[in-house]
Every structure is written in structure tokens, then in C-alpha cells.
């Protein structure tokens, strides 16, 4: 699945409605956007970026191409998923392949929508899912530790890895998530995580799904989620899932007016996409020409040749230099030629670390 965000949540919390809104967001871009849904539970969603619109006003291109983000609707979670209940095994394998978890929790009362646990309690719901993730990781770590014990008899390096696994097992058994483990930057932890793709080591964002009344002011449920998230250095995004689905069908002016009436400046969906992009350690640089203005997705701290490879591998192989204009300079000057005349274009070599928003042109020879 690659760089993707997995949506999880108990039944009737708004997860599927949120995913439907993401899918609609993808389809709403169909006229100038070539991607499509690869499978029923996956959406490749354009990342909203006003900088592209500003560049397009100057360049007047034939088309605009956004950066993208993958969202996966992970179904089948119930109590006991770690033991194979429901679609537990499928659920756990799907989430293991994602990079970030978006946990949708219900933060509103509605007698017409029955909660599977019989009442509204977002912290209980969070604990149900996170407990299943912990159990799954404990099983995986215990199996790995047993194998390491046998290897340690003849391989000293296996002994150190076994000790790390056992220390982590003790930590998880205390009801803790691996992303709070104090040794998570240790090479041995990193090795274990690479081998097992630990579920509890993944970044988590919480989507607090509220009703209309909850949009203007945080209710007690939302505050409880925010308190829980702050202890884990996690993000909370407040949204009304049904409104998000409706918003996608509106034009920009309608959507802006609607959001203004709700007292918010950015939709929950846009926040999810932007914050998810950041959680994945991603950013965009731009190419701007009459054919297209395009955002290219790269990892933060990427060198110019590696950034060029996102366009084509030959660009990296034959990299000579990059012509770079900072976004602010490009906009202030009013385009490439005026930026050149103002001395704002730089020639950068192989060691250059690309900045978010750079407008780039690569020179190469293969």
C-alpha cells in the first residue's frame, strides 16, 4: 500500500461516511486528475494546496496536478480482532501495511444511530481498538523473542535484539503503545519495527466526529479525546462526517460560506489530508509550465537528484544541476522570467536539500 493512512473505528462512529467523503473528493477532481480508485476500500486523494492555484494564475497552464495521499478504509474491527474475531486477521494485516492510523471516534449523541457498545464513550472506544493493537503486537513480539532465544545460543547479536523485544513486551503489557517507548529511536527497536511493522508504533490521528452543534464549540466528548491525544503527542481533528460528505459536492464559494456559518476556516477533510501529509513526513515541490503546473511529492530532507527521480529515474542518473526559485520569490516577482531578472533563480547541485514549495527545473544528461 505504500504511503497510506488507514481509517479505523468501531461500527456506527462515522468511519465509512468519512471515507465516502474522501472518495468523493477524489472523484470531484476527475476532470483534471488522472487517478482512480484502485480497489473498493482505497482512495487516492488530491492534497488541497492553494499555492498551485496561485502558480496557475501566473502561468495559465493547460492543467493542474496535485500531490496525492492514499487512504484505506480498514473494515472488520470488533472486540477480539487480535484473536481473529470478525475480520480480525484481515483488519490487522491491512493496518500493518499503512503508515499512519486515522482513528474515527463518535463524539455525539443520537438515539437513531445505535452504538455497538450501548453508549457514547470515545475513550472507551479508543481503548478497545488500541487494546487490540497492543495484543496483536504482543503476539508478534513474543513469537519473535522465542526465535531469538534459540538464535542467541550461537549469535550474540540476537541476544541484544531478544533483550529489546522482551523490554518492549513488558512495556506493552502495561497497556502502553510502542510509539511512547522511550527507546524507540534505538537501532534495535528500529530493527524490530522494520521486521514486524508494529501496529502500536504507528502515528495516530484522532478524528472526533461531532454533530452540527459540536462544530461551533467543543463538547465534553471532544475534550476527552483531546486530553487523551495530548498525553500521546497525537493530533485531534474535529469533523462532522455527514457535513464533510456534503461539502465535497459544493463549489468553492458555497463551501467557504458553509464553513463560515459553522465557524471554521478549513474543512475536517482538508485538515485530515494536510496533517496526514505532514505525519508521513511528506512535502511538495512544484514544476510550472504552460502544459501543467504540478506538485511533486517527496520526503522531507530530500536532495535535488532524489527529488528529480520522482519525475523520472533518468533525471537522477544524469543530474547536472537544478534551477530553483523559492515559492514566495516566484509569486512576488510574477513568474519565472521576472524572477530570473530579479536574480532570484539559484543554480543548485547534488547536495541541495529541496525546500517545501520550491519551483524547480532540472538539467540532466543521460
User: In the listed set 154, 183, 198, which residue is the last one of a domain according to the structure?
Assistant: 198
Residue 56 inside a domain? The answer is: no
Contact 297, 67 (CB under 8 A): yes
pLDDT class of 89 with cuts at 50, 70, 90:
low
Q: Quick check: 30 pLDDT over 50?
A: no
Q: Quick check: 364 pLDDT over 60?
A: yes
**Of the candidates 39, 241, 224, which has an alpha carbon nearest to the alpha carbon of residue 126?**
224
Instruction: Count CB-CB contacts under 10 A for residue 11.
Output: 15
Question: Rounded CA gap, 326 and 359, in Å?
Answer: 6
Residue 162 inside a domain? The answer is: yes
Question: Rounded CA gap, 308 and 330, in Å?
Answer: 20
Segment 262-284, tens digit of pLDDT: 778 888 888 988 888 888 889 99
Q: Does 309 share its domain with 161?
A: no
Considering its fold, how many domains does the chain have in total?
Answer: 3
| Angle (CA) 103 22 131, round 5° | 15
Residue 273 inside a domain? The answer is: yes
Q: Does 272 share its domain with 206?
A: yes
Handedness of CA 306, 311, 313, 319 (dihedral sign): negative
Question: What integer is the mean pLDDT of 8-28?
Answer: 78
Contact 26, 92 (CB under 8 A): no
Q: Does 112 share its domain with 134?
A: no
Residue 291 inside a domain? The answer is: no
Question: What integer is the mean pLDDT of 313-320?
Answer: 94
User: In the listed set 147, 176, 198, which residue is the last one of a domain according to the structure?
Assistant: 198
Q: Does 192 share its domain with 271?
A: no
Q: Does 79 share its domain with 217?
A: yes
Q: Does 180 share its domain with 106?
A: no
Q: Does 138 share its domain with 208?
A: no
Q: Does 183 share its domain with 214?
A: no
Question: Rounded CA gap, 311 and 292, in Å?
Answer: 13
Range of the domain at 312: 301-364
Q: Quick check: 329 pLDDT over 50?
A: yes
Question: Rounded CA gap, 193 and 201, in Å?
Answer: 8
**Of the candidates 320, 325, 321, which has an alpha carbon nearest to the alpha carbon of residue 358?**
325
Environment class of residue 174 by beta-carbon count within 10 Å: exposed (0-12), middle (13-18) or buried (19+)? exposed
- CATH code where residue 114 lies: 3.40.50.300
Question: Rounded CA gap, 155 and 151, in Å?
Answer: 6
Q: Of 128-137, 144-153, 286-295, where does the model show the most confidence?
A: 286-295
Predicted confidence at residue 165, as pLDDT, reads 95
Question: Rounded CA gap, 104 and 253, in Å?
Answer: 28
**Of the candidates 287, 348, 359, which has an alpha carbon nearest to the alpha carbon of residue 319?**
348
Contact 126, 134 (CB under 8 A): no
Residue 314 inside a domain? The answer is: yes
- CATH code where residue 168 lies: 1.10.150.300
Q: Does 335 share its domain with 265?
A: no
User: In the listed set 245, 279, 313, which residue is the last one of a domain according to the structure?
Assistant: 279
Question: Rounded CA gap, 18 and 144, in Å?
Answer: 36
pLDDT class of 78 with cuts at 50, 70, 90:
low
Q: Does 274 share its domain with 221?
A: yes
Q: Quick check: 79 pLDDT over 90?
A: no
Residues in Cβ contact with 73 at an 8 Å cutoff, skipping those fewer than 6 apart: 7, 15, 16, 19, 41, 42, 43
Residue 214 inside a domain? The answer is: yes
Question: What integer is the mean pLDDT of 319-337?
Answer: 97
Q: Does 209 share its domain with 89?
A: yes
Residue 264 inside a domain? The answer is: yes
- Of the two residues 79 and 163, the one the predictor is more confident about is 163
Instruction: Count CB-CB contacts under 10 A for residue 50.
Output: 7
Residue 53 inside a domain? The answer is: no
Contact 28, 255 (CB under 8 A): no
Segment 209-219, tens digit of pLDDT: 998 888 888 99
Question: Rounded CA gap, 153 and 182, in Å?
Answer: 28
pLDDT averaged over every residue in the chain: 86
- CATH code where residue 344 lies: 3.10.20.30
pLDDT class of 65 with cuts at 50, 70, 90:
very high
Q: Does 146 share its domain with 194?
A: yes
Predicted confidence at residue 90, as pLDDT, reads 60
Amino acid at each position: 500500500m505504500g504511503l497510506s493512512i488507514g481509517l479505523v473505528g468501531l461500527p456506527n462512529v462515522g468511519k465509512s461516511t468519512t471515507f465516502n467523503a474522501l472518495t468523493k473528493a477524489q472523484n470531484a477532481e476527475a476532470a483534471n486528475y488522472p487517478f482512480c480508485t484502485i480497489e473498493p476500500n482505497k482512495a487516492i486523494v488530491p492534497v488541497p494546496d492553494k499555492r498551485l492555484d496561485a502558480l496557475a494564475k501566473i502561468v495559465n497552464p493547460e492543467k493542474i496536478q496535485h500531490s496525492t495521499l492514499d487512504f484505506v478504509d480498514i473494515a472488520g474491527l470488533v472486540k477480539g480482532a487480535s484473536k481473529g474475531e470478525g475480520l480480525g486477521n484481515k483488519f490487522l494485516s491491512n493496518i500493518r501495511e499503512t503508515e499512519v492510523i486515522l482513528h474515527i471516534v463518535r463524539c455525539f449523541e443520537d438515539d437513531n444511530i445505535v452504538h455497538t457498545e450501548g453508549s457514547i464513550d470515545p475513550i472507551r472506544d479508543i481503548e478497545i481498538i488500541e487494546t487490540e493493537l497492543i495484543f496483536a503486537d504482543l503476539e508478534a513480539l513474543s513469537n519473535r523473542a522465542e526465535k531469538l532465544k534459540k538464535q542467541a545460543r550461537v549469535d550474540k547479536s540476537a541476544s541484544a535484539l531478544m533483550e529489546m523485544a522482551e523490554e518492549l513486551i513488558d512495556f506493552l503489557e502495561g497497556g502502553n503503545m510502542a510509539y511512547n517507548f522511550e527507546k524507540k529511536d534505538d537501532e534495535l527497536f528500529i530493527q524490530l519495527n522494520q521486521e514486524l511493522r508494529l501496529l502500536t508504533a504507528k502515528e495516530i490521528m484522532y478524528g472526533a466526529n461531532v454533530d452540527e452543534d459540536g462544530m461551533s464549540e467543543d463538547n465534553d466528548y471532544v475534550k476527552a479525546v483531546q486530553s487523551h491525544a495530548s498525553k500521546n503527542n497525537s493530533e485531534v481533528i474535529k469533523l462532522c462526517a455527514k457535513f464533510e460528505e456534503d461539502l465535497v459536492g459544493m463549489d468553492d464559494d458555497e463551501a467557504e460560506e458553509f464553513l463560515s456559518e459553522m465557524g471554521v476556516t478549513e474543512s475536517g477533510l482538508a485538515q485530515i489530508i494536510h496533517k496526514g501529509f505532514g505525519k508521513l513526513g511528506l512535502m511538495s515541490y512544484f514544476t510550472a509550465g504552460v502544459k501543467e503546473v504540478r506538485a511533486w511529492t517527496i520526503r522531507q530532507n530530500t536532495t535535488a537528484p532524489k527529488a528529480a527521480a520522482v519525475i523520472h529515474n533518468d533525471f537522477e542518473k544524469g543530474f547536472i544541476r537544478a534551477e530553483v526559485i523559492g515559492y514566495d520569490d516566484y509569486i512576488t516577482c510574477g513568474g519565472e522570467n521576472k524572477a530570473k531578472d530579479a536574480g532570484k533563480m539559484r543554480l543548485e547541485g547534488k547536495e541541495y536539500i529541496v525546500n517545501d514549495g520550491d519551483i524547480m527545473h532540472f538539467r540532466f544528461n543521460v
